[in-house]
Structure 1
Amino acid sequence: MGIFDKAKEALNSDKGEEISDKVLDKASELAKGALGEKYSDKIDGARDSIDEKIGKNEA
């Protein structure tokens, strides 16, 4: 198992999902602080898109 497989496995765990959500939320807050609420919708959309790609896939 390679390092990327281990990282993906960690992100797909419940704890990994919790941590990635916290990181994405904080990054979103910082971006909104730097860019203002004018770009809030785009920032939220980017945050959600990234979360879908790296977050826990529940089917």
Structure 2
Amino acid sequence: MGIFDKAKEMLHSSKGKQAGKQASDRLEQEVNERTGHKYTEQVDQAQQQMEQKLGIDDDPNK
């Protein structure tokens, strides 16, 4: 079992999903700040894909 499989298992609880979403949002913000917001669109796309794969995407419009 890989590291992403373990993380996905832990994220199945509602508390885990909330913590995962918060961590994802903080990471997106940190990357955008460190890159001077040059790659905001690409970072957002990567975040969305990662959240979908982990099952923590809470935006039904995406």
Task: With the length of structure 1 as denominator, give the TM-score of the two structures.
Answer: 0.75
* Runs of 5+ consecutive residues of structure 2 not aligned to the other structure: 58-62
Residue 30 of structure 2 aligns with an amino acid whose one-letter code is L
Residue 36 of structure 1 aligns with an amino acid whose one-letter code is G
User: What are the superposed Cα offsets for residues 6-55 of structure 1, whole Å, 9 maximum, x if unpaired?
Assistant: 64332111111101000000000000011122200000010111001112
Structure with higher RCO (Cα < 8 A, 6+ apart): 1
- Runs of 4+ that moved beyond 2 A: 4-10
* Runs of 5+ consecutive residues of structure 1 not aligned to the other structure: none
Give the conservation status (yes or no) of the 8 Å contact 2:11–2:20: yes
Q: Say whether 1:31 aligns with 2:31.
A: yes
Give the conservation status (yes or no) of the 8 Å contact 1:11–1:54: yes
- Give the secondary-structure state (helix, strand or coil) at the position aligned to 1:38: coil
Alpha-carbon RMSD: 2.2
Higher share in helix? 1
